[in-house]
Every structure is written in structure tokens, then in C-alpha cells.
Structure 1
Amino acid sequence: MRGFLVIGNKATTGPFSLKNIPGAGRMDIMCRCISQAIFLSHSIRESMEVYLLLLGDPNPPRVVKIKSDELKGMSPDERSVAGLIRKALKFKAGK
């Protein structure tokens, strides 16, 4: 298993709009890191984990763990990845 840790010093830990992904503490950069780490040209890399350490307001720090083996039907565009992060932030720790 290969893993990456991406630290977002200003990446928001609360709800954010998918219409303004860069305005959420440069969440667009976090999304690109996930896309580059997990997606191949026409498939998903196996055995990859990406950990996002989000240090922005309102509830820092938060860690979001994304496992490539558990992703299905996801596209590599920023909006799809941001939607996944936004959904993950709704859960409490350990879920």
C-alpha cells in the first residue's frame, strides 16, 4: 500500500460551495493532489491511500482518508473530488 499526506494549512474544515472550490482555502489544490495520486488515464490505481490534513477554519485539524480500493464510479475532475471531500467532512471522526 502506498500513501500520501497532503497538508492544507488554510483548507476549510467546514461546508464549502462546489461553485467556489479555490475559495475554500485552496481546496482545488487538494483535489488535484488526490486526482494525481489515485487516477490513471483510464482507471484507478490500486492500493493507494491519500490523507488530507485540513488545518483551516472552523474546526481544525481534520483528517480525511481516501482509499483507492473503495472508490467506485468516481471521475478525476476537481468538482467530483471536492464533492467527495465535502461529504466526508460531514462525518464525525472515525467514520
Structure 2
Amino acid sequence: RSTALVAGCAAHLLYEAGRLSAEATADLLAKRLSPGTTVLDAAAFFEGFFSGAGQRLIYDEGLRAAVDAWLASLDEEAFVAHLPLLRRVFSNL
């Protein structure tokens, strides 16, 4: 879990520094939040990327689409289990 969390933080820093394009970032999010990734790793990456930067979802359509696809892929049990995480990230909006 900590590796995915750190990877999310690193991806966010690269994106903010302009070293990772919006398109590349959206592709990375789609990959890291895909159904092929364990729910725990996806959640850790999500938390690492968006902690303190949830407002990005308001303005960045590509990031929002990747997050939307991930949320839609979660079954009810996984979604409910991750509500506290989602609340923490979205409370910054």
C-alpha cells in the first residue's frame, strides 16, 4: 500500500511541475485505477495523488474521467469500504 501511495504522490508532483503532461497523467491514472489493479493499491494511489489537491478534479476533465471510470468499476462493497478515503480527498474541494 505504501508503494502505491508514494507513487501517487510522485505522479502528482511530476504533474504539478509540468514534467508529466495532462494526457500522460490521465493515462497513468486510468492504468493505476483500472479494474486490473487491486482495490487497495488503487485507493492508495488515488489518495497519494489527490491528497491536498482534490480541486484538480474540478478543472481537469481527463483526471475526472479517469476517476469516474475507477469509481464506476468498484463493486458496492469496495465502494462503501473506500468512502472514508473518498471523503478525505473530496473534502478539500
Instruction: Report TM bin, short chain.
Output: 0.3 to 0.5
**Scaled by the length of structure 2, what TM-score is found?**
0.35
Structure with higher helix content: 2
**Scaled by the length of structure 1, what TM-score is found?**
0.35
Structure with higher strand content: 1
